[in-house]
Amino acid sequence: MMSEHEVSDSSSRPHVDIWTDGGCKPNPGPGGWGVLLRFQGREREMKGGDPETTNNRMELTAAAVALETLTRPCTVCLYTDSEYLRNGITRWHTGWVRRNWRNASGDPVANMDLWRRILDISKKHDVEWHWVKAHAGHAENERVDQLATEGREELTREP
């Protein structure tokens, strides 16, 4: 199993598959995120939450945490069911950066702190961003959905 700070000891760029998910109930409200990393047949799961957040912030947090876990440059296939995350990172961010982190309407970009975090850590890796349909029987996507729910529920459990 990978430790928090170790992905591979090989000298070549390792390949890592990552699945991420996040959500809130209600939105906004308590939220959770989940991550599944797969490297050389080994898996690592992570989850967490925030007592007051949004679905989009949890989706972005999951991706940021997953990429920050990698301690050396990797080739990454990252799978998300969030079109917001995938479109933001593959299409919209160039305009935001060009407009000094303003959207097309001239307003500050929502979740700018997380977008910057993801863009910064992504520079270290070769990341391919893949969208998968949610709740469509994709085993890894279902697992990270479950982890995100657990992350949220752990915040709201009575002691």
The residue segments making up the domain with residue 106 are 15-156
Per residue in 46-104, pLDDT tens? Answer: 999 999 999 999 999 999 999 999 999 999 999 999 999 999 999 999 999 999 999 99
Q: Are 76 and 34 in contact (CB under 8 A)?
A: no
Catalytic site positions: 21-22, 59, 81, 135, 145
* Structure token digits, residue 37: 């990393």
- Predicted confidence band of residue 159 (pLDDT cuts 50, 70, 90): low
Q: What is the mean pLDDT of the chain?
A: 92
- Alpha-carbon span 18 to 77, nearest angstrom: 6
- Position 126 pLDDT exceeds 80: yes
**Is 26 part of any domain?**
yes
Spatial neighbors of 117 by CB under 8 A, at least 6 apart, are 60, 64, 68
**Can you give the pLDDT at residue 136?**
87
**Is 10 part of any domain?**
no
61: CATH: 3.30.420.10
* Structure token digits, residue 103: 């959207």
**Can you give the pLDDT at residue 158?**
61
Q: How many distinct structural domains can be found in the chain?
A: 1
Q: Are 58 and 68 in contact (CB under 8 A)?
A: no
Q: Give 66-71 contacts, CB < 8 A, sequence gap 24+.
A: 66/18, 66/20, 66/35, 66/37, 67/18, 67/118, 67/121, 67/122, 67/125, 67/127, 68/117, 68/121, 69/4, 69/7, 69/35, 69/37, 69/44, 70/7, 70/16, 70/124, 70/125, 71/5, 71/6, 71/7
Whole-number percent of the chain with pLDDT over 90 = 86
**Is 136 part of any domain?**
yes
**Is 123 part of any domain?**
yes
**Can you give the pLDDT at residue 156?**
80
**Can you give the pLDDT at residue 98?**
96
**Can you give the pLDDT at residue 140?**
97
